[in-house]
Chains A and B, each alone.
Chain A
Amino acid sequence: MSDTEAKVGSSGEVGDGLARSTGDQPAGPAPSADGHGPSLVDDPTLSPVTDDVAVSHHTHTPVPVVKGHTAHPDATTTAERSPARPAVSGIKLAKIRHTQDRIFRGLAGGSGLAIVLLVVFVGIFLLALALPSLLANQDNFLTSRNWTVAGNELRFGIAGLLWTTVLSSVLALVMSVPVAVGVALCLTQYLHRRASGPVSFVVDLLAAVPSIIFGLWGLTVLGPFLSPAAEWLIDNVGWIPLFSRSVDPKGSVFVAAVVLAIMILPIVTAISRDVFAQTPRDHIEAALALGATRWEVIRTAVLPYGRSGVISASMLGLGRALGETIAVMIILTQPAPNSPFTPSIFAGGETFASKIANNAAEFDSPSKTGAFIASGLVLFVVTFVVNAVARIIAERGHATS
Chain B
Amino acid sequence: MTTNRLATRTLSFAALAALATFGLAACGSDPTGSAQPASGPEGGNGSGLGCPDGQLSAEGSSAQANAITEVIANYNGQCGDKATIEYNPTGSGAGIKSFYNGLVDFAGSDSALKTEEKDGVVEADKAKERCEGNPAWNLPMVVGPIAFAYNLDGVDKLVLNAEVLSGIFNGSIKTWNDDKIAKLNPDAKLPSEKITVFFRSDESGTTENTTKFLSKAGNGVWKDEPAKAWTGTGEGKNKSSGVAEAVTNTKNSISYMEWSYANDNNLKMAQLDSGSGPVELTGEAVGKAVDEATVKGSGNDLALDLKYAENAEGAYPALLVTYEIVCSKGLAADKTAIVKDFLTFFSSEETQGSLEELGYAPLPEAMLTKVKTAVGAIQ
Contacts and interface: CB of A to CB of B under 8 A. Distances in A.
Interface of A: 150, 219, 247-248, 250-251, 329-330, 333-339, 348, 350, 358-359, 361-362, 364-365
A335 B249 CA distance: 18
A360 to B, nearest CB: 9
A334 B235 contact: yes
B227 A251 contact: no
A329 B239 CA distance: 11
Contacts of B196: 248
B126 to A, nearest CB: 13
A348 B236 CA distance: 9
B358 interface: no
A361 B94 CA distance: 7
Query: Which among A219, A250, A361 has the greatest number of chain B C-beta atoms within 10 A?
Result: A361
A336 B203 contact: no
A147 to B, nearest CB: 8
B184 interface: no
Given A362-B93, A364-B93, A365-B119, A336 B238 contact: no
A335 B236 contact: yes
Given A336-B197, A339-B233, A348-B235, 7 more contacts: A248-B250, A333-B201, A334-B235, A336-B235, A350-B201, A358-B202, A362-B203
A167 B47 CA distance: 61
Interface residues of B, number: 30
B90 A361 contact: yes
10 contacts: A150-B228, A248-B235, A333-B201, A333-B236, A334-B199, A337-B229, A358-B238, A359-B203, A361-B91, A362-B94
A361 B228 CA distance: 12
Nearest to A148: B229
Contact of A150 (B229, B246, B250): B229
B119 A336 contact: no
Contact of B238 (A250, A330, A339, A362): A330
B203 A334 contact: no
A337 B232 CA distance: 7
Report, nearest first, the 6 A-B pairs whose CB atoms are least far apart. A334-B236, A334-B201, A365-B119, A361-B91, A336-B233, A333-B235
B91 A336 contact: no
Contacts of B230: 336-337
A350 B246 CA distance: 18
B203 to A, nearest CB: 5
B231 interface: yes
B234 interface: yes
Nearest to A215: B238
A285 B40 CA distance: 78
